[in-house]
Structures are given as C-alpha cells and as structure tokens.
Structure 1
Amino acid sequence: MRPSNRRAAAGVLSLVALAGLAAPALAERAADPGQETVPAPSGSTCWTTVEGSRVVAHCHNPYPETDLVRLHTECERWWDLDADGAPVEVGPAQTVRLTDRCWKEVRAAWVSHHRM
C-alpha cells in the first residue's frame, strides 16, 4: 500500500472510531425527554425585485403563526441614505407588499424576519 493510501485509510478509520464513540452520547441525548423538540417551520417567503431606484418585495406567509417582516435597502451612492422599513405583520395565509427607493441606484435589498 502506498504511503498516501495508508494515511487516507488511517484517517478514515479514525473518523469511524470517533463516530462510534459519539453515537451512544447522541442517542442518549436524543432520548432525553427534557430536551426541546425541533420547532415547526415558520416564516414568510419573500420575493424582492429591484428596478432602477425602486425596490418591491412581496412576502407570503403559508404558516399558522404570524411573521414580522422588514424591508432593508442599501443605496449605491455614499450620499444616498440607506433605509430600514417599518416592521409589517404577515398573518397566516396573507401576502404583503413592501416598497422603498433610493435617489439613484440600489446596491442591495433584503427582507428580515422575526417570529412573534
């Protein structure tokens, strides 16, 4: 066996040994009844469109919990103020439209989410 193959085989065997040592601890932690369960999926799905100096975001919430969304706009020019829009509640099965603009070009736009 070539030296590089021996090193690779030794690395694989050590990873397998570590996984074998960690498996009982992970199984024990998963069986702990006091451990929190994985939260249900939540949050709106948002589509952001930039056309020239205008930004439009549509957010739809398919989940039963209300989502709080906020549009953030970063302008290209140094003298053009960046903006963080007001938070908007998106209820279950609702769609909202968020808008903003820069004086000139838009560098970036994104939507942040907060659970209520």
Structure 2
Amino acid sequence: MEIFAKRLKERAAKLGISNAQAARLCELDERRYANYANDQREPDLMTLAKIARILNTSTDHLLGLADHQPQTERARLLDRLNVAATSLTDEELRTVVTQTEALAIPRPKKTGKKMPPISGV
C-alpha cells in the first residue's frame, strides 16, 4: 500500500511533525509507525482510524480513496494546533483555550485613532 505510506509522510510533514512525533501522538511504537511510513507494514482498521483522527484527516485520504483540496495557510496552522493539542493534559488544554480566547477578543481596527479611555477604571 505505497499510497498509504506516501500520504502518511505527507500528512505529518504538512503538520510540521516528524514521524517519531506522529508515532508518539498516535501512542504507537516508533518502529511500528516507521514500518507504516516506509511501506513495510499495513495498520489494522482500528489503528488506521486512530492515525487518521490524530493526524486530522480521513482514512479515505490516507488510503488514496479521496484527495484533499489544497489548504490555505490558516487551515494548515489550525491543523497543526489541533494535532499539538492532542498531547496536552486537560489542565494544559484549558490554559491554551483560555489564552487563545484572550487573543481572540475583538479589537478595534488600526485606524490611527486613539481609543477613548475606559470609564470606571
């Protein structure tokens, strides 16, 4: 299943992670994952589904049954964030969500005008 090995490596590269990192995220032995990435072994169905979920793609894509449309830079970054978040503890994830929400607070557009002072502060 040469296409699977190729797409597995491509997907990890798009996410900015090594095969070793992908193996750890998927909770697989690095040698076992390397066998998949080097077209020396094929995963069972449960392992295939887990790899696809962790790498934020579909089993059809990994198996060559479907092609993904080209992604925007934003979509690639969101994929990377999603994959990185899978290895966080619940507390670490809460912290990341809180920090992300703080960054996402609507801000006025930069127009060169100063914002009026906040009353009551």
Tell me which interval the TM-score lies in, with the shorter structure as reference length.
under 0.3
Higher strand share: 1
**TM-score scaled by structure 2?**
0.19
Structure whose alpha-carbon radius of gyration is higher? 1
Higher helix share: 2
